[in-house]
């Protein structure tokens, strides 16, 4: 039988320590950091043990089990509220009813509000969205602070839900909707929000609809038919009584209130290229629905050469009729004489003070407005492509070369008013410097120029400079000839006869003929450096490529192998079975083969590996496949 429980009287209560093994009852530290934020923990409080455990502890029973959750203090397991809920705001949409007295149009007014609840410090504020021309002070309705309920306690997130109402400082707010974050947050807390509710009808809107005072178009089907008839009859009677016609227009104040800040925007172009100094220029046309005025602004294109003066036409009514320019007063135009929204269509022209502007595109708001108000279809609001193909820039025709100076200098006179020195090829200057091809040349007769025997016996050294494609002709002095040697031609570029093309390294090879100032020179031989350089770059110098010559000779030898063999054997007058360079060339010419002297020299240099000056006939025939 268990002992009776200890009575709950002073001096009889048992206070168990936090841990049975803890013999110290010192006060623990309460200031610490959690995830980098300062936090003050509450003092540890010893929990009261359950009745059965306390009884067993007093009686000394050993069957009692003390769990860690019973003895451990309440430890902080999360961040402070202002850190965990930083920038988390619950947003509810609602309204409240405001009574209106001494008005035959309404007895109350529906005012829409947005309620914000800040989770970081449990504050809230109420804001009313601003409406243009409402005449009511709107904006922040209740400033942000901790709001108390009617019983004096503070509001919590559990006090707000879609479909419920909240009374704040004697004014009742009805909540009809919440944003997505608010719904997700409350759903995570186990409080699902119902679907959005509609706003109630405003009595003033019903009054305006019944009596034709609704906001919208004058031909709206919801407008009162009786009111429209009365307005038309009223305008007729006023006109009969002598009211000016410009005062018979619609209510301009109503038009301003309904269409304030509504602007139709069109992109247009003005093409005046048919006139002198005319151009095709882009513009933006703005039509203001609030007062039926038009302004045209110029689009400043980059590098157009025009001053940035954007205003082409100042805002005002745009007349459709011709405007007299010989008057000193600004004429007044009736509404039917000016452009209206129905006169602007994409793909058509409008007349702006005698200038034809082509409308080709509009912005999204303009397209939507025309579709909703004038019933325009998608085809009527399709943009028109006005891009024109870019014509290639014509090249300036250069005058023919007059023979004075160089062609590059004459070309600079055609390119700029102040001639500049012609640009030089820096790549060739750096990589081809000091590379000079030298040839031994002689004068030859032509059909128009005959030379004496003395001139035909003269020999010259032609130097070609790879760095700038210039030629230099030098005549070595020879004793007892009566001709003073020296520089025969100054270093310069040489143009081909009756052409604007200069001689290059491709035109120079042994056996070729060039014409220099009406004198023809034949290239007889080249020095060792020139031959070696040309053979090393045989992909550029074709005449030094022996593979090309062998393929050409094989193609020519096909079908007459015996004649070629006989011609080569006949050229070997010494009967040694080998031919020198000149004998090989003579034998190939006797066989009727076509080649150049430079090719023959390159072939001899390739086959004469021992530098004996002769080529074996059998080796050469084997190379040709004979």
| Helices assigned H by DSSP within 348-482 | 364-369, 407-415, 426-431, 453-456
pLDDT for position 383: 92
pLDDT for position 491: 92
Does 236 have pLDDT greater than 80?
Answer: no
Instruction: Please give the biggest Cα pair distance in the chain.
Output: 159
Task: Give 120-154 pLDDT, tens digit per residue.
Answer: 999 999 999 998 777 888 999 999 999 999 888 99
Element containing residue 575 per DSSP (H, E) = none
Mean pLDDT for 514-532 is 92
What is the pTM (predicted TM-score) of this model? Answer: 0.43
Helix (H, G, I), strand (E, B) or coil at 427: helix
pLDDT for position 527: 93
| Terminal CA-CA length for the chain | 135
Question: Given pLDDT bands bounded at 50, 70 and 90, which one contains residue 77?
Answer: very low
CA distance 406 to 399: 14
Mean pLDDT for 473-485 is 89
3-state SS record for 171-202: EEEEEEEECHHHHHHHHHCCCCCCCCCCCCCC
Enumerate the β-bridge partners of residue 362.
Answer: 266
Question: Given pLDDT bands bounded at 50, 70 and 90, which one contains residue 609?
Answer: confident
- Work out the percent of the chain whose per-residue pLDDT is above 90: 37
Does 278 have pLDDT greater than 80?
Answer: yes
Query: What does the mean pLDDT of the chain come to?
Result: 82
Mean pLDDT for 89-113 is 91
CA distance 128 to 112: 6
Greatest mean pLDDT among 164-168, 202-206, 499-503: 164-168
Mean pLDDT for 54-72 is 42
Mean pLDDT for 491-498 is 89
Beta-carbon contacts of 618 under 8 Å, excluding residues fewer than 6 positions away, are 577
Greatest mean pLDDT among 22-36, 40-54, 587-601: 587-601
pLDDT for position 356: 92
CA distance 558 to 28: 114
CA distance 90 to 123: 11
pLDDT for position 229: 56
Question: Given pLDDT bands bounded at 50, 70 and 90, which one contains residue 67?
Answer: very low
Question: Given pLDDT bands bounded at 50, 70 and 90, which one contains residue 65?
Answer: very low
Does 274 have pLDDT greater than 50?
Answer: yes
CA distance 591 to 559: 12
Mean pLDDT for 404-409 is 77
Does 207 have pLDDT greater than 60?
Answer: yes
| Tokens standing for residue 523 | 């290239």
Contact (Cβ atoms closer than 8 angstroms) between residue 427 and residue 395:
no
pLDDT for position 325: 67
| Tokens standing for residue 599 | 């090719």
| Tokens standing for residue 119 | 């989770």
Does 61 have pLDDT greater than 70?
Answer: no
pLDDT for position 246: 58
CA distance 107 to 223: 22
pLDDT for position 222: 44
Nearest in space to 144 (alpha carbons), one of 116, 174, 175, 179: 116
CA distance 505 to 428: 13
Task: Give 540-597 pLDDT, tens digit per residue.
Answer: 998 888 888 888 888 888 877 888 888 888 887 777 778 877 778 888 888 888 888 8
Task: Give 355-370 pLDDT, tens digit per residue.
Answer: 999 999 999 999 999 9
pLDDT for position 442: 94
pLDDT for position 366: 94
**Site of tokens 């011609």:** 567
How many CA within 13 A on the CB side of residue 491? 9
pLDDT: is 416 or 345 the higher one?
A: 345
Q: Rounded to whole angstroms, what are the CA distances from 309 to 313, 392, 436?
A: 11, 30, 62
Task: Give 288-310 pLDDT, tens digit per residue.
Answer: 999 999 999 999 888 888 888 88
pLDDT for position 423: 85
List the single range of 233-237, 317-321, 391-395, 528-532 with lowest mean pLDDT: 233-237
Contact (Cβ atoms closer than 8 angstroms) between residue 494 and residue 407:
no
User: Which long-range contacts link 231-238 to residues 24+ away (Cβ below 8 Å)?
Assistant: none
């Amino acid at each position: 039988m268990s002992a009776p429980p200890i009575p709950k009287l002073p001096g009889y209560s048992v206070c168990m320590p936090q841990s049975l093994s803890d013999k110290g009852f010192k006060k623990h530290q309460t200031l610490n950091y959690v995830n980098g934020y300062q936090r003050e923990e509450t003092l540890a409080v010893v929990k009261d043990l359950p009745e059965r455990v306390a009884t067993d502890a007093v009686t000394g029973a050993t069957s009692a089990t003390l769990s860690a959750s019973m003895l451990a203090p309440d430890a902080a397991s999360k961040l402070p509220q202002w850190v965990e809920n930083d920038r988390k705001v619950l947003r509810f949409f609602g309204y409240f009813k405001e009574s209106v007295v001494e008005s035959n149009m309404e007895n109350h007014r529906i005012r829409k509000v947005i309620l914000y609840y800040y989770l970081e410090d449990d504050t809230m504020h109420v804001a009313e969205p601003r409406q243009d021309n409402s005449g009511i002070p709107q904006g922040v309705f209740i400033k942000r602070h901790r709001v108390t309920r009617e019983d004096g306690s503070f509001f919590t997130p559990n006090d707000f839900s879609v479909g419920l109402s909240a009374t704040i400082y004697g004014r009742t707010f009805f909540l009809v909707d919440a944003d997505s974050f608010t719904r997700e947050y409350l759903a995570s807390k186990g409080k699902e929000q119902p679907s959005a509710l509609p706003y109630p009808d405003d009595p003033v809107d019903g009054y305006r609809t019944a009596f034709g005072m609704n906001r919208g178009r004058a031909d709206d089907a919801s407008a009162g038919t009786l009111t429209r008839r009365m307005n038309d009859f009223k305008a007729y009677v006023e006109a009969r009584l002598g009211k000016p016609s410009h005062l018979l227009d619609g209510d301009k104040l109503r038009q301003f209130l309904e269409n304030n800040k509504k602007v139709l925007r069109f992109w247009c172009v003005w093409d005046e290229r048919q006139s002198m100094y005319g151009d095709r220029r882009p513009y933006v046309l703005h039509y203001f629905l609030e007062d039926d005025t038009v302004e045209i602004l110029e689009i400043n294109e980059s590098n157009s050469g025009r001053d940035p003066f954007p205003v082409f036409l100042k805002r005002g009514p745009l007349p459709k009729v011709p405007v007299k320019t010989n008057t000193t007063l600004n004429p007044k135009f009736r509404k039917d004489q000016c452009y209206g929204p129905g006169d602007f269509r994409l793909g058509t022209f409008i007349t702006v003070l005698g200038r034809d502007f082509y409308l080709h595109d509009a912005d999204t708001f303009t397209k939507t407005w025309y579709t909703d108000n004038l019933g325009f279809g998608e085809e009527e609001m399709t943009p028109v492509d006005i891009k024109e193909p870019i014509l290639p820039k014509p090249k300036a025709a250069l005058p023919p070369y007059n023979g004075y100076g160089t062609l590059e200098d004459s070309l600079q006179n055609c390119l700029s008013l102040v001639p500049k020195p012609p640009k030089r090829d820096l790549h060739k200057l750096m990589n081809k410097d000091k590379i000079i091809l030298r040839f031994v040349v002689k004068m030859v007769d032509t059909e128009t120029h005959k030379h004496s025997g003395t001139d035909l016996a003269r020999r010259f050294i032609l130097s070609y400079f790879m760095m700038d494609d210039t030629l230099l002709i030098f005549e070595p002095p020879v004793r007892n000839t009566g001709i003073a040697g020296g520089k025969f031609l100054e270093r310069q570029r040489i143009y081909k006869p009756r052409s604007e093309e200069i001689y290059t390294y491709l035109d120079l090879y042994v056996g070729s003929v060039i014409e220099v100032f009406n004198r023809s020179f034949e290239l007889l031989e080249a020095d060792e450096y020139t031959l070696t350089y040309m053979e090393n770059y045989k992909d550029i110098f074709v005449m030094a490529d022996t593979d090309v010559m062998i393929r050409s000779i094989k193609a020519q030898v096909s079908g007459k192998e015996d004649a070629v063999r006989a011609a080569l054997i006949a050229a070997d007058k010494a009967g040694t079975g080998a031919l020198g360079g000149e004998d090989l060339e003579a034998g190939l010419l006797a066989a009727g083969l076509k080649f150049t002297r430079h090719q023959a020299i390159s072939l001899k240099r390739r086959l004469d590996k021992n530098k004996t000056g002769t080529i074996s006939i059998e080796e050469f025939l084997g190379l040709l496949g004979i």
